[in-house]
Copies of this chain bind each other. A is one copy, B any other.
Amino acid sequence: YTTSPDQSLVKTMEELLKRTVAPLPTYETRDKSPPIPESSSVEFMHFYRSLDKEQKLEFLDRLSRDFGVDHKSVSELAAKVVETQLRDLPTVLQVEDRLRYSLTPRYRHLFGHISRVEGGVKFLVDLRADLIEIISSKASESPLLRDLNGTLKGLLSEWFSVGLLHLERVTWLSPCELLQKISQYEAVHPVRNWTDIKRRVGPYRRCFAFTHAAMPGEPLIVLHVALTEDISSNIQTILREFATLDTEEDVNKINSAIFYSLSSTQAGLQAVDLGTYLVKRVVRKLQGEFPHISQFSSLSPIPGFCAWLQGQLSSQLKEGRGAGLLTEQEWREVAEVTGSEVGAADSLRKLLGSGDWVRSDGLARALEPALMRLCAWYLYGEKRRGYALNPVANFHLQNGATMWRLNWMADTSPRGIGSSCGIMVNYRYFLQETAGNSASYLQNKTIAASDQVLGLVSQYQKNSKL
């Protein structure tokens, strides 16, 4: 941002902060300080909400700068810790505790008070969402704002720890408010109308959400499950199956639980791990209801695959070595179908961009082996700091799932074609192995994958001479 807020507003901010962020009691009186009046917190919340984007940045900047840690006193106490390190244990412990107290930023106490006010927790979640946007959009690169974010994340992690979450099964008898919000929040496969959402909570379907006492009526994260005979390889079958609305579930037809959509709803809870726990709890719940279910798997989108592929095509085009991605034979087939021998790579790029390739059976057939191979590599081989680049893959692998099966023509919606060439992937949960897989992945960055996936990956490697 460029223009600075006008001076009168800055003045107002300063005064408000002075008034509403209570001074820290001394270490000695920390348990005997008068309660902070709720009105302070309410005033703070009200004021913050009245600010526009740019003003919020200014305000948070001030908060993080002027109401954080007193570095001087930290440094003094640190010196004292060094001094007393050989003294008796009670002394050591006491000095350490003082140091710990001095390392707590003053705004952390403010947040504690706000959390006690009605709507306060939701306010802090939203404030953190603003902060995350500021940081990720690079509107500011202040390390103090990063610290503020870290402190908030720590607090929210406490408050949204699993013991305090309520697992709710959502049905057609759930409050309309809840179902409407779930419809709104559904990011993976959008809900279009009453019938759509009714089907999501009808027979052969389950919908679970975590809710939290401090944010009543607000689903924090939502998991949609299909109960099927086999592990699903196509999302439209799940979303548009019309037969199921009035039927009664036949338990004997239920062998698999397919997680086909997982949506977080609160930007401000980023990196507060809810998804992993939700999946675990739902698995346990389903095992309770259907002891004979033996197959647990996701049917997941692959956001970013097409974009990645386009990038690959572009850079290879530039470097004049388009050959690596498709085999010669494949290039020939593409050229044949598109009729443009020379610029096959270029016309492929355009076809992928428009999604038009899917309308030509010939082209689709020609591209299938290549796209499957490339997609397997994208999921398995592309990394960020050693972990899977694709965020959905990373999520399930952290949970201990196995990258199990890539499915061709699994999502033929425009969205599916546009973002992942219609391919979807099953991350399968072999319950005996998830703990081990999870540890291997997190510690050694090893990805558990099936023969199908590994086969496709090795084809890719062979073809691209990696």
Interface residues of A (CB under 8 A from B): 31-35, 37, 69, 71-72, 74-75, 78-79, 81-82, 85, 89-90, 92-94, 96-97, 99-100, 103, 112, 115-118, 120-121, 143-144, 146-147, 150, 155, 158-159, 161-166, 172-177, 179-180, 183, 194, 197-198, 212-214, 217, 271, 276-277, 435, 438-439, 442-443
Contacts and interface: CB of A to CB of B under 8 A. Distances in A.
A201 to B, nearest CB: 8
B213 A164 contact: yes
Contacts of A177: 172-173
A183 B31 CA distance: 32
Contacts of A213: 163-166, 212-213
Nearest to A68: B93
A33 B176 contact: no
Contact of A81 (B74, B90, B214): B74
Contacts of A435: 34, 37
A368 to B, nearest CB: 36
Contacts of A72: 85
Nearest to A103: B100
Contact of A90 (B93, B143, B158, B277): B143
A172 B172 contact: no
B194 A442 contact: no
16 contacts: A32-B442, A35-B438, A75-B81, A78-B99, A82-B82, A93-B144, A97-B147, A115-B163, A116-B161, A116-B163, A118-B163, A163-B213, A164-B164, A164-B214, A176-B198, A212-B213
* Copies of this chain in its oligomeric complex: 4
Contacts of A175: 172-176
Contacts of A212: 213
Contacts of A112: 158, 161
A100 B37 CA distance: 29
Contacts of A442: 32-34
A194 B174 contact: no
A312 to B, nearest CB: 28
Contacts of A166: 213
A207 to B, nearest CB: 12
A161 B100 CA distance: 21
A90 B144 CA distance: 8
Contacts of A81: 74-75, 78
A144 B97 CA distance: 12
9 closest A-B pairs by CB: A78-B78, A34-B439, A116-B162, A78-B81, A173-B175, A90-B143, A75-B85, A34-B442, A163-B214
Nearest to A443: B34
Given A34-B438, A100-B100, 9 more contacts: A78-B78, A90-B143, A100-B103, A115-B162, A116-B162, A118-B163, A173-B177, A175-B175, A176-B176
A442 B30 CA distance: 11
A116 B273 CA distance: 12
A446 to B, nearest CB: 12
A17 to B, nearest CB: 20
A99 B71 CA distance: 13
A120 B164 CA distance: 10
B35 A97 contact: no
A442 to B, nearest CB: 4
A163 B97 contact: no
The residue in A120, A174, A194, A439 that gathers the most chain B C-beta atoms within 10 A of its C-beta is A194
A115 B161 contact: yes
Contact of A158 (B32, B144, B159): B159
Given A116-B163, A164-B213, A85 B97 contact: no
A229 to B, nearest CB: 23
A377 B310 CA distance: 74
